[in-house]
Amino acid sequence: MLTQKTSTNKKVQCLIYGDQCTGKTQLLEGIFNNRYNSNTGLTIGIAHHSKQIKIRKEEVEFIIWELAGLEIYLNIARIYFESNFIQFMILIYDITNRESFENIMNRLFQIQKNARRIPIIAIVGNKLDREEYRTVLFQEGQELSKQLGAQFFEVSAKKNYNIDKLEDFLINDVIEKGTTY
């Protein structure tokens, strides 16, 4: 789990983006607080999550911007894509909702169309705790990630399953090797 530290000027910034009700807020609860919170509502617009972490004896502010999944917030998304401060992105879908998976390509198209540079991407299939209702096969998510050159994870934000693997990727493969601002 990420631990609270003192303030710093170095920042690593991420955007999490996906359809409504894919579990973005819950995933962030798992990453930042190592818990599931059933009392979260829908995100309106954009939400900011941050923690200070220590990497190689250096304090870094780890920030994730959570973008609401409704189409009406697309203009907000464009602002973030056009900015140059997002270093990596999490595209999330619900394994029980095929449309949310199919929309990953639409989301990626929006990124490619509007971004100054393409950030490092992780594709996350959420709601693994609802396996019996699965409509998107593991292999489909894995293949899409491979085609896009992205990392792939399947998680359950509710059960806190595989959140640690995603967190390890974010810290070890992205933050430690990435650029801070």
Residue 4 lies in a domain: no
Residue 93 lies in a domain: yes
Q: What is the pTM of this model?
A: 0.79
What is the sign of the dihedral through the CA atoms of 109, 150, 80 and 49? positive
Contact between 27 and 36 under an 8 Å Cβ cutoff? The reply is no
Residue 60 lies in a domain: yes
Please give the full DSSP string across 6-39, using - where no structure is assigned: ---S-EEEEEEEE-TTSSHHHHHHHHHHSS--TT
Separation CA 104–CA 64 (nearest Å): 19
Residue 156 lies in a domain: yes
pLDDT for res 3: 46
pLDDT in tens, 135-144: 999 999 999 9
Q: For residue 153, what is the domain's CATH number?
A: 3.40.50.300
- Tokens standing for 127? 């709601």
pLDDT for res 23: 84
Contact between 110 and 78 under an 8 Å Cβ cutoff? The reply is yes
Which residues of the chain are under the pLDDT cut of 50? 1-6, 180-181
The range of the structural domain enclosing residue 102 comes to 11-175
Residue 6 lies in a domain: no
pLDDT for res 5: 44
Total domains, the chain: 1
pLDDT for res 83: 63
Contact between 24 and 92 under an 8 Å Cβ cutoff? The reply is yes
Residue 3 lies in a domain: no
pLDDT for res 8: 53
Residue 104 lies in a domain: yes
Residue 5 lies in a domain: no
Separation CA 54–CA 167 (nearest Å): 14
